[in-house]
Amino acid sequence: MQNNSIQTNINLTVQDHEKLVAMMDADGYVTKSPFVRWLIRQEFDRRNPESSTVQDREIQLAAKSQ
């Protein structure tokens, strides 16, 4: 866990957990925390188009890989 992180626990139905795992598998995530953080950022950006947290992160990752 990152030093600037806080832990948040949630309860999911079996069906929602299965959906979460299926989405993680489809996107190549192995652990839940990074995937849920990504989902939160995606939803935040969808609701706040003037913000670009996910897009900025993708640009940063692309630049690092070059």
15 or 63: which carries more pLDDT confidence? 15
Nearest to 25 by CA among 17, 56, 57: 17
CA–CA dist 21, 26 (Å, integer): 9
42 or 63: which carries more pLDDT confidence? 42
Domain boundary assignment for the chain: 14-65
- DSSP letters along 36-47, please? HHHHHHHHHHHH
Model pLDDT for residues 16-56, shown as the tens digit of each residue: 999 999 999 999 999 999 999 999 999 998 898 887 666 66
12 within 8 A of 20, measured Cβ to Cβ: yes
Model pLDDT for residues 35-44, shown as the tens digit of each residue: 999 999 999 9
60, pLDDT greater than 70: no
Can you read off the two tokens belonging to residue 54? 């996910």
Q: Residue 34's CB: how many other CB atoms inside 10 A? A: 11
